[in-house]
Amino acid sequence: MPQKKALIIGAGIAGIATAIRLAVKGYTIEVYEANGYAGGKLSEFEQEGYRFDAGPSLFTMPQYVDELFTLAGKDPRQYFNYRKLDIVCRYFYPDGISIDAYADAEKMAAEVNHKTGEPAQALQKYAHNSSQIYAITNHVFLEQSLHRLKTYLNRRTVQSILRLFQIDAFRSMHRANAGFFRDKRMVQFFDRYATYNGSNPYRAPATLNVIPHLEQHYGAYFPDGGMYNITRSLVKLAEDLGVVFNYHAPVDEIVLNGSRAKGLKVKGDLVKGDLVVSNMDVWFTYRKLLASYPQLFPERILNQERSSSALIFYWGIQKQFPQLDLHNIFFSDNYEAEFNAIWKQQSIYNNPTVYLNISNKYEPADAPTGCENWFVMINVPANTGQDWDSLISDARKNIILKLSAQLGEDITPCIVNESILDPRSIESRTSSYQGSLYGTSSNSQFAAFLRHANRSSKINNLYFCGGSVHPGGGIPLALLSAKIVSEWVE
């Protein structure tokens, strides 16, 4: 029997992972990617001797990457290696204290107790709560499709569903965190995890307090060679399995035959296949690639609020700052005002929380000797037509003021080169609607149920993977979406 052919739209991390999984299943795979490189948001670039990972910088759940190699019968270590971080992140507060978030739970509790007076038991209780939510939700909400009857027909799912009242869905993350900790700095510390999927801790359900469990229990890692090596090594694996990547190949249309997807239109040519998987943001998949079929659009799903976006300054820094680590957070003076600015005013707070990642702390070759490559990011609203040039100019000044004050010196003369990524360029480079980083927001307790399924209910043979569909954004969940697709495909 001839091999079935799968056509994949987009070589984002989920598109690549789907290609690998379907190749292992025996499919012939062709990937069509609009850009001249793979990885989508997970890409890299070079700037006057400094290397930057363009998007993700925090690597968690590396087992989901390893699994792709073992599934293909390969040794992951021959392709891809990483190190566990002892200090996950260094937090700087406006009052001058800094907290090192140690991977080791006891060290972390001692550090927090020493810096804030918060008792070790408070952190232990919190960690227990996070792990409980994970135990209940992981199997049902993350590892399987919520849109498939089969999911609900096994004992483990039923057990999880019976415990759903324990997942703290009816109060906000912030309210829950304020109940766990007396010290406002610890509340802010745990509220920040809402930003891991582009949400607002003052609205997102406390179920999302599961996120710290992923980082604190499973750990945070740094891939040898930088984040882009995740993409590079998976593309190599896919190619070893015979996957064909076509670059500079934007897909213009998904071609239907009745209610079946029968192929793609790429630069005017029809490419036929037995099934189609879209790694393009689901909003654009419908509105651009299926534009002739508005009757098929799941409007309720497409019209949901989007997750937040990001503004990033990539700065070549002609100096070293030993007081900084790989991941650093400089908190704002008023977190609620910051989230109100993003979510209510659709703007940027004048004293934003700044995330500063410096990959050459672990990978010295990423910057010239004596220098550092700064990835400086703040959370911003999705693009709804704001005056970004003016917002970016103000934000740049405020960030420089803030970092200079906290580091005790004017950093302006240290910045020797710069490039900027904002919601408009995130949208244009990766076709992410409104430049949102994680598809739809998770600000409501029903958000998990309202994400688009990994398969179309109206078009046979059309599947969806990536951060804009179930189970969600971020590298680990995007990789899980590929797993769900491959389990669904016959």
Residue 385: both structure tokens together: 């037509």
3-state secondary structure of 403: helix
- Contact between 316 and ligand FAD per CB under 6 A: no
- What is the C-alpha separation between 91 and 145, in angstroms, rounded? 36
Minimum CB distance to ligand FAD, residue 116 (Å): 25
**Size, binding site for ligand FAD by CB under 6 A:** 36
| Binding residue (CB under 6 A) for ligand FAD from 310, 341, 356, 484 | 310
Tell me the CA distances in angstroms from 289 to 17, 108, 285, 423, one per residue in order: 22, 49, 5, 22
Smallest Cα–Cα separation from 427: which of 388, 397, 479? 388
Of the listed pieces 53-61, 127-135, 178-186, 213-221, which binds ligand FAD according to CB under 6 A?
Answer: 53-61
- Contact between 256 and ligand FAD per CB under 6 A: no
Of the listed pieces 20-28, 35-43, 106-114, 168-176, which binds ligand FAD according to CB under 6 A?
Answer: 35-43
| Binding residue (CB under 6 A) for ligand FAD from 6, 20, 29, 34 | 34
Of the listed pieces 20-28, 50-58, 73-81, 359-367, which binds ligand FAD according to CB under 6 A?
Answer: 50-58
Cβ neighbours of residue 282 closer than 8 Å, sequence gap 6 or more: 301, 302, 439, 452, 464, 466, 468, 469
Q: Residues for the chain: how many in total?
A: 490
- For ligand FAD, the closer of residues 122 and 210 by Cβ is 210
Within 461-480, the residues that bind ligand FAD by CB under 6 A are: 466-467, 473-475, 478
- For ligand FAD, the closer of residues 331 and 464 by Cβ is 464
- Contact between 13 and ligand FAD per CB under 6 A: yes
- The answer to whether the CB of 43 falls within 8 A of the CB of 364 is no
- Contact between 234 and ligand FAD per CB under 6 A: no
- What is the C-alpha separation between 178 and 180, in angstroms, rounded? 5
Of the listed pieces 7-15, 202-210, 336-344, 383-391, which binds ligand FAD according to CB under 6 A?
Answer: 7-15
| Binding residue (CB under 6 A) for ligand FAD from 6, 56, 222, 282 | 56
Smallest Cα–Cα separation from 354: which of 300, 306, 413, 411? 411
Of the listed pieces 37-45, 72-80, 89-97, 156-164, which binds ligand FAD according to CB under 6 A?
Answer: 37-45
- The answer to whether the CB of 44 falls within 8 A of the CB of 67 is no
- Cα radius of gyration rounded to whole Å, the chain: 22
> Which residues on adjacent β-strands are paired with residue 251?
266
Of the listed pieces 44-52, 55-63, 139-147, 361-369, which binds ligand FAD according to CB under 6 A?
Answer: 55-63
- For ligand FAD, the closer of residues 33 and 191 by Cβ is 33
| Binding residue (CB under 6 A) for ligand FAD from 6, 20, 30, 33 | 33
- What is the C-alpha separation between 434 and 282, in angstroms, rounded? 12
- Contact between 10 and ligand FAD per CB under 6 A: yes
- For ligand FAD, the closer of residues 112 and 312 by Cβ is 312
Tell me the CA distances in angstroms from 104 to 72, 83, 276, one per residue in order: 33, 15, 44
- Contact between 14 and ligand FAD per CB under 6 A: yes
- Contact between 280 and ligand FAD per CB under 6 A: yes
- Contact between 312 and ligand FAD per CB under 6 A: yes
Residue 190: both structure tokens together: 């745990």
Read off φ and ψ for residue 239, nearest 5 degrees.
Answer: -65, -35
The CB density around residue 464, as the number of other CB atoms within 10 Å, is 27
Smallest Cα–Cα separation from 63: which of 219, 292, 188? 219
- What is the C-alpha separation between 372 and 415, in angstroms, rounded? 10
Within 415-434, the residues that bind ligand FAD by CB under 6 A are: 426, 430-432
Of the listed pieces 11-19, 147-155, 318-326, 359-367, which binds ligand FAD according to CB under 6 A?
Answer: 11-19
The CB density around residue 270, as the number of other CB atoms within 10 Å, is 11
> Could you list the residues that contact ligand FAD (CB under 6 A)?
9-15, 32-35, 40-42, 55-58, 250-251, 279-280, 310, 312, 426, 430-432, 437-438, 466-467, 473-475, 478
